[in-house]
Amino acid sequence: MKKKILFVIPSLTAGGGEKSLVNLLSQIDFSLYEVDLFLFHHEGLFVDFVPKEVRIIPLPESYKTFTLPLISSVRNFLSKGNVSLAWKRVLFSMQSRLGKNVSVREQYSWRYMADALPTLEGKYDAAIGFLEKTATYFCIDKVQAHKTIGWVHIDYNKLGMDATFDRPYFQKVNHIVTVSEECANILIDCFPDVQDKVRVIYNIVSPTVICNMAKKDLADTYLFQSEQIKILSIGRLHYQKGLEFAIEACKILVDKGYNVQWNIIGEGEEREKLTSLIVNKGLENHVKLLGLKANPYPYIQQADIYAQTSRFEGKSIAIDEAKILQKPILVTNFSTAKDQIMDGHNGLIVDMTPQAIAQGIEKLMDKTLRQQLAYNLAKEKLGTEEEIQKLYDII
């Protein structure tokens, strides 16, 4: 008899956690597992990549109403005599504005959102909250499951969350999965009372799939001039990704006379800010914000250098993908950088400043160094498809 598993994630918009889930789902043995997926928003770049065997659970009407704009939502609830949910919708709106940061607002907003979500029907062998915060809270509060698993994709300390809110949820889950040893150590430091529950499962990446997709859609991705130094970054346009460092580093390189083009794949709340910075630095011909790309691999394939200028990461899927395509990689020295890059062997790790990033790019303009890094990457075993077995074991 098949085991029944539920995965929960807010949406499948572009992001490392979202891509990680789609990759994981593609590796599941559906002859052994029946899989449901609960999304708080039925939208996103990766929805079309969900395997056909996975059932996406319809959203309840009460939650659909809750997610309407405030006035429309309140009116709708009141017209149906549901004063309690109308009031909770008001409190949700207030909490969403009052929290000290985005993470804390999401944490405390759950107390009001939860009332709009009935408990799911049926019982699961395992319920997996595949992203921090709401996904895990939902699995504990709204799902009947023999085993519950929370998933943390990031350096917990860097999110600015209220650990006192998460602690009772972490005490209730059976396992807390994270994506690197460093992330696991950070979690254990924050929550020593649940250290026995912490497990490491690396993000699943498939070299075969990535190399095949890198050969597709090439006609649409010839964005570089042949004489330019071609640099690529991938990430949400968000403070975490430090993309203003990339733009300022590009300015340093251009001022030194280098002919570089730095393309950035991703979308997010900092688009306007980053666009203004590009214009203010006079870099319109050197930095391009390309938006979301369902298939980023041809862009990686064409780049001379892949650069990740993040302030913090869990375990970056984009870095793993660039490694698979044997691209010279530059990363900033965020806390988990050494989990993926050996400085000077398969990439460069530099200080988190525009000046250091520019100096690192200058080093990577040496074709001999780039070839050596690519050669070293070619010798590494980079596929992680077997990580799915770790999930089977804890289920």
For the CA atoms of 290, 296, 297, 302, what is the dihedral angle to 10 degrees?
Answer: 0
Same-domain check for residues 220 and 199: no
Are 174 and 148 within 8 A, CB to CB?
yes
Assess whether pLDDT exceeds 90 at residue 155.
no
At 272-309, the pLDDT tens digits run 999 999 999 999 999 999 998 888 889 999 899 999 99
Predicted pLDDT at 327: 94
Predicted pLDDT at 220: 56
Same-domain check for residues 109 and 14: yes
Same-domain check for residues 123 and 214: no
Predicted pLDDT at 176: 96
Assess whether pLDDT exceeds 70 at residue 11.
yes
Q: In angstroms, rounded to a whole number, what is the distance separating the alpha carbons of residues 329 and 319?
A: 8
Same-domain check for residues 133 and 239: no
Are 361 and 332 within 8 A, CB to CB?
no
Average pLDDT of the residues in 154-162: 83
Same-domain check for residues 202 and 303: no
Phi, psi of 54 (to 5 degrees): -85, 130
For position 120, which CATH number holds?
3.40.50.2000
Same-domain check for residues 277 and 335: yes
Q: Which two tokens stand for residue 389?
A: 């077995």
Are 334 and 215 within 8 A, CB to CB?
no
Q: In angstroms, rounded to a whole number, what is the distance separating the alpha carbons of residues 54 and 35?
A: 5
Assess whether pLDDT exceeds 60 at residue 230.
yes
Rounded to 10 deg, the angle between the 83-98 and 102-113 helix axes is: 170
Range of the domain at 35: 3-206+386-394
For the CA atoms of 93, 94, 96, 98, what is the dihedral angle to 10 degrees?
Answer: 170
Assess whether pLDDT exceeds 90 at residue 384.
no
At 183-208, the pLDDT tens digits run 899 999 999 999 999 999 998 888 88
CA dist list (Å): 59 to 13, 123, 135, 183 = 17, 18, 14, 32
Q: Residue 149: which of 130, 168, 167 has the closest Cα?
A: 130
Q: In angstroms, rounded to a whole number, what is the distance separating the alpha carbons of residues 59 and 117?
A: 9
Predicted pLDDT at 217: 63
Same-domain check for residues 192 and 305: no
Q: In 3-state terms, what secondary structure has residue 54?
A: coil
Average pLDDT of the residues in 170-191: 93
Q: In angstroms, rounded to a whole number, what is the distance separating the alpha carbons of residues 247 and 304?
A: 17
Q: In 3-state terms, what secondary structure has residue 38?
A: strand
Q: In angstroms, rounded to a whole number, what is the distance separating the alpha carbons of residues 354 and 278?
A: 14
Report CA 357 to chain centroid distance, whole Å. 23
Cross-strand pairs, 36: 6, 55
Assess whether pLDDT exceeds 70 at residue 99.
no
User: In the structure, how many helices (H) and strands (E) does the chain have?
Assistant: 16, 13
Query: Under 8 Å CB-to-CB from 114, ≥6 apart: which residues?
Result: 137, 138, 141, 142
Q: In angstroms, rounded to a whole number, what is the distance separating the alpha carbons of residues 250 and 260?
A: 8
Same-domain check for residues 183 and 244: no
Are 377 and 344 within 8 A, CB to CB?
no
Q: In angstroms, rounded to a whole number, what is the distance separating the alpha carbons of residues 100 and 102?
A: 7
Same-domain check for residues 240 and 187: no
Same-domain check for residues 202 and 340: no
List b or e across 49-73, with b for residues whose CB sees 16 or more CB atoms inside 10 angstroms.
bbeeebeeeebeebeebbeeeeeeb
Number of domains in the chain: 2
Q: If you write DSSP's letter for every residue of 141-180 in order, what string do you get?
A: HH-EEEEEEEEE-S-GGGGT--HHHHHHHHHHSSEEEESS
Contacts by 25-34, CB closer than 8 A, 24 or more apart: 25/50, 25/51, 25/54, 26/51, 26/206, 26/209, 27/204, 27/206, 27/385, 27/388, 28/53, 28/388, 31/2, 32/2, 32/3, 33/2, 33/3, 33/4, 33/5, 34/2, 34/3, 34/4, 34/5
Average pLDDT of the residues in 116-127: 95
Query: What band does 226 get if pLDDT is binned at 50, 70 and 90?
Result: low
Q: What is the reported pTM?
A: 0.80
Q: Residue 309: which of 234, 223, 251 has the closest Cα?
A: 234
Same-domain check for residues 219 and 174: no
Predicted pLDDT at 219: 52
Q: In angstroms, rounded to a whole number, what is the distance separating the alpha carbons of residues 229 and 249?
A: 14
Same-domain check for residues 224 and 195: no
Q: In angstroms, rounded to a whole number, what is the distance separating the alpha carbons of residues 243 and 264?
A: 9
